[in-house]
A and B are shown apart, each in its own frame.
Chain A
Amino acid sequence: MTIAIEERRVRSLFDRVEAVEDVARTLPEDDERRAKLLEVTNAALADEGTIRPVIAARLLGLSEKTVRAWAAQGVLTVAQRAPRLVLDVQSVHLISHIVRDLRALGKDRDLLDEVWRRLSDAALLARPDLLESVEQMRRGEGRVLRPLRQNGAAGH
């Protein structure tokens, strides 16, 4: 399959997945229908399976060299290294969201660092212990460890 045809096919898949994701996001987080729609999008991406770096580069608006560097650094998930490098489509799709958001904010420099921070944030915010703590804080169960000092010195 030529690069152009493969790019068009995967881009079309991403467009369809994003259309469903947009609908899913209009539903409350605890709505079963939301979860089902997101399962459908994940399954569609999983069916596609893998993607060549050259296609990922076109979809992400990056150079192939950058895509390979991001794969080497673990930002993009490698599905297979030999005989040729191929990437996990779900990972490319996730990163495409982040890159698009960052570009919309005008953050086109140091993109790798910014993407890495976003991924780290997402992983941290998915941790059950942190979610529990955030809920406790929202319920006003927080206890002051270091009071605010107007002169800049912490009280402890």
Chain B
Amino acid sequence: MPTEVLTTPRAEQQIGRLSRKRSKVLENFLNDLAVGGCRALAYRQRPSTRRSCMR
């Protein structure tokens, strides 16, 4: 299910510290998440927090 992907200031701090290689991995994950939602990469949506996905 297509999903809107958001970030937070705290997450952006952490993303900003990633190496180029890890940033690329994250970009790919975000793309999969936007297209497939939590089912991308075998995650599932957490019922209690509408916008979080958990393994």
Q: A residues bordering B, Cβ < 8 Å? A: 117, 120-121, 124, 129, 132-134, 136-137, 141-150, 152-156
Partner of B11 from A133, A153, A155 at Cβ < 8 Å: A133
Q: B residues bordering A, Cβ < 8 Å? A: 2-12, 14, 30-31, 33-35, 46, 49, 51-52, 54-55
- The tally of CB-CB contacts under 8 A between chains A and B is 69
Q: Please, which residues of chain B bring their CB within 8 A of the CB of A153?
A: 2, 35
Q: Please, which residues of chain B bring their CB within 8 A of the CB of A155?
A: 34
Asked whether B2 lies within 8 Å of A148 as measured between CB atoms, the reply is yes
Q: Please, which residues of chain B bring their CB within 8 A of the CB of A150?
A: 2
Asked whether B35 lies within 8 Å of A142 as measured between CB atoms, the reply is no
CB-CB nearest in chain B for A132? B10
Q: Please, which residues of chain B bring their CB within 8 A of the CB of A148?
A: 2-4, 34
Q: Please, which residues of chain B bring their CB within 8 A of the CB of A137?
A: 6, 8, 51
Q: Please, which residues of chain A bring their CB within 8 A of the CB of B11?
A: 133
Partner of B54 from A117, A129, A145 at Cβ < 8 Å: A117
